[in-house]
């Protein structure tokens, strides 16, 4: 049973427009959420994160929104650029009984930004 | 970029043979992880380590073992490779405490094919 769900396997957006990537989760114990970006033949790279005590975090063109009541987060990219074309993984973290931060990843959404 | 290397980067092996993948870091981070990435499953945790000789299982640990004899090296062993273990394997590291512990840095990946 997937605890972190990315229901859109792919998304195409015109350059300059907004890209919105969505993620839903089921585990109410998640306390930290992250987005990773992955180019082909490379490892994922950390993009942006948000604590469960916040509802928005912004870093340049990237903004993550968290709606705890809906168990939903989204990543907004404005304006979208061709170099943003990649697979985006949503991830969520919780502390286990030993204090280890256990991270669960979604299956990813492939974003294509069309010039 | 975080100093993480993986070797080999590509490997083809036959069913039933043992395989060892190596992850090496130069960041002196405490935590190290092994993930596998498969279509439709995203990134799934195989094993992780929270210190030298301290390891624990992830969600897909069956058929895999790990060892960490030095801070900088984390080995993943497939004792008897099966075709279901054909995948891309990523090593990741993270710092030991605070919010930085949530953010993992990934290596470039190892593509393993079991024939």
Give the pLDDT band (50/70/90) at residue A67.
very high
Does residue A4 surpass a pLDDT of 90? yes
* Residues forming a β-bridge with B67: B75
Say if CB B77 and CB A10 are below 8 A apart: no
How is residue A53 written in tokens?
A: 């005590």
Yes or no, beta carbons of A107 and B41 under 8 Å apart: yes
Phi, psi torsion values for A75, nearest 5 degrees? -115, 125
Distance CA B3, CA A114 (A): 33
Q: Is the pLDDT reported for residue A110 higher than 90?
A: yes
Answer whether residue A49 shows pLDDT above 60: yes
Q: Is the pLDDT of residue B21 over 90?
A: yes
Please state, for a pLDDT cut of 70, what percent of chain B lies above it.
Answer: 93
Contact B41, A107 (CB under 8 A): yes
Let me know: does B106 contact B46? Beta carbons within 8 Å.
no
Chain A residue numbers with beta carbons less than 8 Å from the beta carbon of B23 are: none
According to the model, what pLDDT value does residue A101 have? 76
Residue B1, pLDDT above cutoff 60: no
- Report, as an integer, the average pLDDT of B66-78: 97
The radius of gyration of chain B from alpha carbons, rounded to an integer in Å, stands at: 13
C-alpha to C-alpha distance for A23 and B90, rounded to whole angstroms: 22
Q: Decide the pairing of beta strands A109-114 and A10-14.
A: parallel
Residue with tokens 């897909």: B60
Contact B105 A101 (CB under 8 A): no
**Which residue, B25, B19, B18, B22, is CA-closest to B9?**
B22
DSSP reduced 3-state for B58? coil
Q: Is the pLDDT at B64 greater than 60, yes or no?
A: yes
C-alpha span between A92 and B73 (Å, rounded):
26
Give the pLDDT mean for B12-32: 95
Residue B4 near residue B21 (C-beta atoms within 8 A) = no
Structure confidence by residue, pLDDT tens digits, A85-96: 999 999 999 877
Provide mean pLDDT across the span B45-67. Answer: 93
CA distance A78 to chain B (A): 23
Chain A residues with CB inside 8 Å of B4's CB?
43
Per-residue pLDDT reduced to its tens digit, A8-45: 999 999 999 999 999 999 999 999 999 999 999 899 99
Residue B3 at interface with chain A, using a CB cutoff of 8 Å: no
Residue B96's pLDDT band (boundaries 50, 70, 90)?
low
Partner-chain residue, chosen from B92, B102, B107, that has the shortest CB–CB distance to A32: B102
């Amino acid at each position: 049973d997937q605890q972190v769900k990315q229901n859109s396997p792919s998304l195409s957006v015109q350059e300059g427009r907004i890209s919105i990537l969505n993620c839903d989760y089921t585990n109410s114990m998640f306390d930290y959420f992250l987005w990773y970006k992955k180019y082909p033949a490379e490892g994922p790279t950390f993009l942006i994160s948000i604590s469960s005590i916040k509802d928005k975090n912004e870093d340049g063109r990237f903004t993550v929104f968290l709606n705890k009541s809906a168990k939903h987060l989204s990543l907004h990219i404005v304006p979208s650029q061709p170099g943003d074309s990649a697979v985006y993984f949503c991830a969520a973290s919780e502390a286990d009984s030993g204090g280890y931060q256990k991270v669960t990843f979604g299956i990813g959404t492939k974003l294509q930004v069309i010039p | 970029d975080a100093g993480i290397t993986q070797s080999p980067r590509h490997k083809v092996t036959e069913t039933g043979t043992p395989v060892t993948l190596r992850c090496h870091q130069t960041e002196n981070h405490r935590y190290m992880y092994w993930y596998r990435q498969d279509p439709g499953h995203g990134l799934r945790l195989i094993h992780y380590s929270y210190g030298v000789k301290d390891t624990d299982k992830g969600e897909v640990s069956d058929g895999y073992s790990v060892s960490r004899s030095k801070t900088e090296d984390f080995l993943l062993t497939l004792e008897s490779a099966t075709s279901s273990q054909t995948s891309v394997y990523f090593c990741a590291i993270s710092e030991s405490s605070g919010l930085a512990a949530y953010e993992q840095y990934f290596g470039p990946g190892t593509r393993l094919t079991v024939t």
